Structure 1
């Protein structure tokens, strides 16, 4: 999958898939099978070994609001070892002079469909929407993802080091999402972010109405809400059965397990707090309703996606700890997208809520720094004065929080994964490009060295490596 001189080919890592067996008498073995039931497709991602890398004389945005002029950073053993003004240099470090350049955490796109809608965009490649019923929580995006999608390497060239890949938005419950390290590889399990929790894609508004209005419903927004509530009621009952069984396993007195239901298993995972909710929702009134449903069934909505009317309810979003993943300026392509404003992102940020700039596009993901720059500049023109250092949170720290991986990545803090981008200049400039991209401290993309550019097997023979940008 990788064609590069400075990144060695990763060996095949074998995933051990759990087989659930009822009536286990051994406590430890029973606990292992409970674990396997919840994680049957574990990550096989491997960190690429790299010598320490020291970058100096660079303008650093740390991803959590800090800016360091003429800064230094040391990447060692896959982690950010030190960042500041006077960083010690190991004798075996590779030194990079960052004079005139900027350094940021890697961009994290929390709304991507790469792999489930890969290029080339043919009907045979369309694997993102399971439009066979309004509740399809049983499907998992990772089982549709094509790792050879050339979009992954194009996103890497835009400074994207991690992303959440979601099913589509046709259904009330569209299925599980997965978070990946953007290191193109042979299998999706080799790309899975090891510590990331699963998400579930939900959708409100026009999409479920449009798809199912002529198929027996839902055909109205009130039927959408009734559909969520019914599903959560079923999930509560299912979770109660399994909680009792799992408690019996813990005590060593388990009998036969309840019958598994993949759809309810995912929903029960949400109620248990193990799976994060990512909800496609445009209108402010619908977001408010969904937060009411959230409270009724005691689960957590992590992020509203698209959220073009978040500027109307930023206080409610902040109060409930719900992020908004937004475009800089997409609007008007359907009625629920009509009442958008270009100051949406900065207004949400200023109100103290969690603001994110996302792509939802195989093209937009290649220039998310420019999308954030548009939102930032629109805010400045409206008198909303946000520093560039604060605004970078929209691309790294906040999406990391929305994906449950902020303790591992999303900012340049000691001990975090060394997911870093060296930019040719100010990343809020249209003219700046991602010059070098590091994932876990290893150089995985160097714009000046075509031999480092990953090329999909699908493209070999169709384009030369030098053209695969």
Structure 2
């Protein structure tokens, strides 16, 4: 028996994870690739993340060396760049932002392309498997590494799936390639035991471990299968052993501390050395999980998916340990199964207001972590309108930016409409001309009627369909019109002096346009003249779509264009070169 080794091992059991004392003084990252040269980025628009995310440095500089960011600010001090190997990059005022950390990903274990031989998200061998490690299943040939990197993702927490109540241990990885080409070489701060099998210095704080738990539909049971009782028994045995060793009561003491490879990770959970990430949806499961943490005295780092978390924020705060867990949510992905039915895109705001930390994640490959959804679409549009495309398509976008032809955008959500208005203002300032912007669908445009009008006469709306319906979430905030609301979308927009037209969803609906115009005029409660109503299906539409005016005339008998009793009597069409008497 080596008494000192036992005492060191016992001391290590009670050491909580954290960085080494000299962590802030390091000059080289432990993941540094020697082939990487020092890099100076100049003339950049830098979003630093400081001041609650509001700080932006215009024309700033960044210096990187040894795998670390050595400086961010207006001008890099000269002593940083004396190395003649420094590579300089002029960002030309392009944005430089912190890279994105995806807190919930299955990249590498649910790899692309999807093949049975590389599917390692879940193990169906048992319900409780804390000994499994996502690291052992990470596929370095996953095609989505460069795709996710191109979307700004640099780091991801690779979780086991949620088919098991305890699916195993998770690992944080960097997505970039390494010279070793191994899964381990991608791991961020790997546990020391992974590097050489032992702790080099037992006085150094261990590194954080991570684990996946799951509740609800995916694992069919929870409490009966936790095995935390087994882990607690082992922990108590270790505590009793170490108490005797530290009291130097060696007589009759076994030569080794009690261990069990199956449950050692759960014991570390109970010792506060593992960040537990819990797949969860419903309020009833939050209640059960919070109760479990208090019974066995362990904390939760984050609840994932958590579609009903916004309903029970105070329950979440009762997790054992006194530290409120974070909540990692989808931005908009909800209602894909019963558990997710009550999800809302406003959950992050509600939870933030209750003091609960929020992260938005992808669950890659459920959602491709490459794309920042709507933001990436606006970024692409901004690039095109500011001369970022070449060739024939670049010429078309140049014509759009200069107001020669209209930009017609299919958009429903008010938030997205607001961003388009900001984009128009930015492009107008850049070109010195006025971009013609037509918003079609425009379901929630009534919420921004004043802002649309203020953007100028070159912005208009094509309501499609004429009578709005909340078909999808982005169309949720419809203005139904009388008798449910005093005004209709047409009325609100025309009152604000916005140019409005009416469109159709399918070709067969064109024949009913005149009746839709009559309906729109009636719902406007007398604020629309018959001429203005007719313009919404004719001249306004031509203007908003950039069409040449059509001078066709139609004669009716038995009433006018808006009457159900009227019938077409004659058509005079200079555009088509005929007169038709019916």
TM-score for both structures, normalised by structure 1? 0.64
1:25 alignment counterpart: 2
User: Cα gap change, 1:168/1:324 in structure 2, threshold over 3 Å: closer, same or farther?
Assistant: same
Cα deviation per residue 1:294-332 (whole Å; 9 max; x = unaligned)?
Answer: 122211100111111222234544675111111111112
Q: Is 1:307–1:326's contact at 8 Å kept on the other side of the alignment?
A: yes
Query: 1:241 aligned to 2:237?
Result: yes
Structure 1 spans left out of the alignment, 5+ residues: 1-23, 39-43, 210-217, 219-223, 383-469
Separation in 2, partners of 1:350, 1:379: 23
SS in 2 for 1:366: coil
2:345 alignment counterpart: 342
1:134 alignment counterpart: 127
Q: Is 1:68–1:84's contact at 8 Å kept on the other side of the alignment?
A: no
SS in 1 for 2:97: strand
1:201 alignment counterpart: 212
1:406 alignment counterpart: none
Between 153-162 and 87-96, the greater mean CA deviation after superposition: 87-96
2:156 alignment counterpart: 163
Mapping 1:397-416, distance limit 5 Å: none
Which of 47, 67, 73 is matched with 2:62 structurally?
73
Separation in 2, partners of 1:150, 1:35: 40
2:424 alignment counterpart: none
Q: Is 1:114–1:362's contact at 8 Å kept on the other side of the alignment?
A: yes
* CA root-mean-square deviation: 3.4
TM-superposed CA distance for 1:29, in Å, is: 8.2
SS in 2 for 1:293: helix
Separation in 1, partners of 2:73, 2:272: 37
1:227 alignment counterpart: 225
Separation in 2, partners of 1:379, 1:336: 25
Q: Is 1:318–1:351's contact at 8 Å kept on the other side of the alignment?
A: no
Separation in 2, partners of 1:57, 1:113: 36
Separation in 1, partners of 2:150, 2:228: 41
SS in 1 for 2:126: coil
Which of 140, 144, 159 is matched with 1:151 structurally?
144
Separation in 1, partners of 2:165, 2:289: 12
User: Cα gap change, 1:151/1:244 in structure 2, threshold over 3 Å: closer, same or farther?
Assistant: farther
TM-superposed CA distance for 1:199, in Å, is: 0.9
Cα deviation per residue 1:71-127 (whole Å; 9 max; x = unaligned)?
Answer: 322223322222222432423333222233111111111111122222221222222
Cα deviation per residue 1:19-44 (whole Å; 9 max; x = unaligned)?
Answer: xxxxx4162487479979x9xxxxx9
TM-superposed CA distance for 1:68, in Å, is: 1.7
Q: Is 1:245–1:257's contact at 8 Å kept on the other side of the alignment?
A: no
Q: Is 1:59–1:67's contact at 8 Å kept on the other side of the alignment?
A: no
1:122 alignment counterpart: 115
Separation in 1, partners of 2:300, 2:170: 14
2:310 alignment counterpart: 311
TM-superposed CA distance for 1:358, in Å, is: 0.8
2:167 alignment counterpart: 174
TM-score for both structures, normalised by structure 2? 0.52
Separation in 1, partners of 2:218, 2:239: 34
TM-superposed CA distance for 1:379, in Å, is: 11
Q: Is 2:270–2:297's contact at 8 Å kept on the other side of the alignment?
A: yes
Q: Is 1:106–1:160's contact at 8 Å kept on the other side of the alignment?
A: yes
SS in 2 for 1:262: coil
Query: 1:84 aligned to 2:73?
Result: yes
Which of 33, 54, 61 is matched with 1:48 structurally?
33
Query: 1:59 aligned to 2:50?
Result: no
TM-superposed CA distance for 1:58, in Å, is: 2.2
1:390 alignment counterpart: none
SS in 2 for 1:270: helix
User: Cα gap change, 1:356/1:272 in structure 2, threshold over 3 Å: closer, same or farther?
Assistant: same
Which of 364, 367, 373 is matched with 1:364 structurally?
367
Q: Is 1:110–1:358's contact at 8 Å kept on the other side of the alignment?
A: yes
1:17 alignment counterpart: none
Q: Is 2:47–2:57's contact at 8 Å kept on the other side of the alignment?
A: no
Separation in 2, partners of 1:372, 1:315: 32
Q: Is 1:328–1:371's contact at 8 Å kept on the other side of the alignment?
A: no
TM-superposed CA distance for 1:369, in Å, is: 3.4
Separation in 2, partners of 1:178, 1:233: 25
Separation in 1, partners of 2:243, 2:368: 44
SS in 2 for 1:83: strand
1:460 alignment counterpart: none
User: Cα gap change, 1:137/1:380 in structure 2, threshold over 3 Å: closer, same or farther?
Assistant: farther
Separation in 1, partners of 2:375, 2:276: 24
Query: 1:331 aligned to 2:334?
Result: yes
Cα deviation per residue 1:355-376 (whole Å; 9 max; x = unaligned)?
Answer: 11111123734335337889xx
TM-superposed CA distance for 1:169, in Å, is: 0.4
1:11 alignment counterpart: none
TM-superposed CA distance for 1:261, in Å, is: 2.2
